[in-house]
Amino acid sequence: MRLILLAVLSLFFSLSVIAQNEEDITGRKAPNFKLVNLDGKYVELNNISGSGPILLSFWATWCKPCLEEMSEYNKIYEQYKDKGFVLLAVSTDTEKSVAKVKPYIKSKDYKFAVVLDTNGEVARKYYAQQMPYTVLIDKNGNIVYSHLGYMKGDEQKVEKLISELLEK
């Protein structure tokens, strides 16, 4: 038992050691996905990437920090949308709460794209174990940043990275 525990923790330790630090902005290729938006049309990541940074925001209507974060991301979206920045809010609401997604978005008058990942298939591809979860993709399709959870102030780092990516 002790050996197994040590083996798993050592593996874990190794992962932490190799985890890239905050200055490292090179990551894996963003997996492609096809999801339905609020109007019932398919959205494919490969079709929207290439022109600028894409922010994937995994959220759910029942998740309070997600709604707080979304409000902040909307401000960033309004500021940078004309420069090629794309915000794609990926709702992970399951069949139990997916009916509430569109009414919520409409009542807040958010204009960014929202897609429905009702069975969590895309969340699994991006290792979004908890909500909210943020992934920033550069115009070459590489994941340059990911962030789990939301605390006020987290959006500053995201905005800084988006600004840097837009200047490149």
Partner 1 sequence: MKTSIYRITILLILIFSSRIFCQKDSRWFLLPDGLGFSNHLEYSYNTDTTVIHNEILENWLNLDYNKNIFSAGLRFEVFQPNDPDPSVSRGKVRYADITYKYFTVDIGDVEEGLNITAGNFYKLFGRGLILKSYEDRNIRVDNNLLGVKVEANYLGFSLTALSGSAANSVNERQDILHAMDLQYNGLNFVKLAATLASNQPNIDGVARTTLAAFRLQPSYWNFDGYAEYGIKSNKDDQLKYFNDDEWKVGEAFYGSLNFYYDAFSIVGEYKYYDNYAFTSSDGTIYYNTPPSLRKEYTYVLLNRHPSPLDQSNEEGYAVEVNYNFSDETSFIVNYGVTRTLPNSSYYQRVNNSANLISTQLKEVYLQATHGWNESFTTIAAFGYNEELSTNTKNITPILENKFYFDDINTIKLVLEHQQTENLTTNEKYYDDVIALEYLRSPNFNVSLVAEMQTKEPEEGNIVRKIWSFIQLGYKLGNHSDISLLIGSRQAGNICIGGICRYEPAFQGIELKMLTRL
Residue 42, exposed/middle/buried by CB under 10 A (0-12, 13-18, 19+)? exposed
Distance of CA 80 to the CA centre of its chain: 17
Task: Output 79 or 130, the one with its CB closest to partner 1.
Answer: 130
User: Tokens standing for 56?
Assistant: 């994937």
> Applying CB under 8 A, which of residues 82, 96, 167, 168 lies at the interface with partner 1?
96
In the shown chain, the binding pattern of residues 12 to 51 toward partner 1, with x for contact by CB under 8 A and - for none, equals: xx-xxxxxxxxxx-xxxx-xx-x----xx-xxx-xx----
Interface residue with partner 1, options 81, 118, 163, 166 (CB under 8 A): 118
Determine the Cα–Cα distance for residues 99 and 32; give it in Å rounded to an integer. Answer: 25
How many angstroms separate the CA atoms of 25 and 165, rounded?
10
Q: Is residue 149 a contact point for partner 1 (CB under 8 A)? A: yes
**Residue 146 binds to partner 1 (criterion: CB under 8 A):** yes
In the complex, least distance from residue 34 CB atom to partner 1, rounded to whole angstroms? 5
Interface pick for partner 1 out of 48, 81, 84, 98 (rule CB under 8 A)? 98
> End-to-end distance of the chain based on CA atoms, in angstroms?
51
Contact 112, 120 (CB under 8 A): no
Nearer to partner 1, 153 or 168 (CB): 153
| Shortest CB 51 distance to partner 1, Å | 17
